[in-house]
Amino acid sequence: MLIEFELYQVIITEGSQTQVIVVKEKGGERFFPIYIGHNEAMAIDRKLNDVQVPRPLTHDLLHNVVEMMGGTLIRIVVNDMREDYYLALLEIRRGNDTIQVDSRPSDAIALAVRASCPIFVEEQVLNALQSRGT
Give the residue ranges of DSSP H helices in the chain: 38-48, 58-68, 105-115, 123-132
pLDDT, mean of residues 6-23: 94
Structure confidence by residue, pLDDT tens digits, 62-114:
999 999 999 999 999 999 998 889 999 999 999 999 999 999 999 999 999 99
Whole-number Cα distances in Å, 37 to 104, 107, 120: 11, 10, 21
| pTM to 2 decimal places | 0.93
CA distance 132 to 116: 31
pLDDT for the residue 133: 66
Domain assignments of the chain as residue spans, ordered by start? 2-132
Out of 3.10.690.10, 2.170.270.10, 3.30.110.30, 3.40.50.720, which CATH number does the structure's domain 2-132 have? Answer: 3.10.690.10
Task: Quote the mean pLDDT of the chain.
Answer: 94
pLDDT, mean of residues 56-63: 94
